[in-house]
Amino acid sequence: MCGGLGQTNPTCRKDNKKSNDDLFHAKNASTNPDGMNRQNSAPQNISFDAWLMRIDQIDLFVSIRVNSWPLSFFAFLCVSVVSPPHCIYISPMPNPQAVIFDMDGVLVDSYSAHFESWKTSAARYGLTMTQPDFAATFGRTSRDIIRHLWPNKFDDAQVTAFDAAKESDYRDILRAKLPVMPGAEDLIASLHKAGFALAIGSSGPKENVAVVLKGLRNGSFITQTVNGSEVKHGKPDPQVFLLAAQKLGIAPQNCAVIEDAPAGVEAARRAAMFSIGLLGTAPREALAKYANVIVANLNELNPPQIAHWIANKKNRSIQ
């Protein structure tokens, strides 16, 4: 027999281990969030039962099961204060989900900073960047914008030099004071806490992305980035978002994208991702063609809502 509470006898541990394992199987069969009996739906590939530690006469026991694909993870933290031990069911998202942020106009209010840097850089070449031209091309790579607005004026080397100077001017403005979008840092924190994988999918250069990540309060929660130099085709081509999903290891259909530019929301839809349009840079009618949802600000978004949208892929709009 095992004796009193907190017994450390190996035989007691073995008996308690069996009790915990039995409880795991019963709990697993009846309380999974999706209502499925995992034991019957997928063969068991990995099993692990172990006592972790003893703290003040409390035994901590973990029982882990990993089933075959689609991957499901189950864990129980069992505390042997009572008999049978009380077990807490722990489960991450049954299907991992991700949110991919555009950077300019979503995480940072960079519209004015980009416009000022374009005007400064264009003036060096005796050119003018107008407000309508800037608004119409916002969200595309600088290289694409140069070739679009001034076709055949620059060779490839000159385009590269123009691009580098413009982005350097932009970073100087950001370093002086990072214009973080309202609600951005809180949304990043809540998504991270809820278990979402987070990435940036930007048309800008890697140096711009680094400046923004460093300046954001919760920038370290964004674990992957894709910048303009990593893709051959800019938005509305979906390459930037597909590469971000690949880096995160999340299927595109399990991703949501937050974008402020028409080219970006189109790229998200073409990537088979849930497309969230953020008002500010473009009017509602410009986003509505491809956005699944349109919001006025990031404070309107929360993790359960985004998880539901990804899972259901329903076209809705928020007024």
Question: Which has the closest alpha carbon to 228: 198, 263, 189, 278?
Answer: 263
At residue 116, what are phi and psi to the nearest 5 degrees? Answer: -65, -40
Known catalytic residue: 56? no
Q: Of 21, 22, 102, 156, which is the active-site residue?
A: 102
* Catalytic position from the list 104, 109, 144, 169: 104
**What is the H or E stretch that residue 209 is in?**
helix 206-215
DSSP strand E in the chain: where?
44-55, 58-67, 72-79, 86-90, 98-101, 197-201, 224-226, 255-259, 274-278, 293-295
Known catalytic residue at 144: no
Q: What's the CA gap between 184 and 182, in Å, rounded?
A: 6
Please give the structure tokens belonging to residue 22: 């039995």
95 and 255 Cβ atoms separated by less than 8 Å: no
Tokens linked to 92: 């991450």
Q: Which residues are catalytic?
A: 102, 104
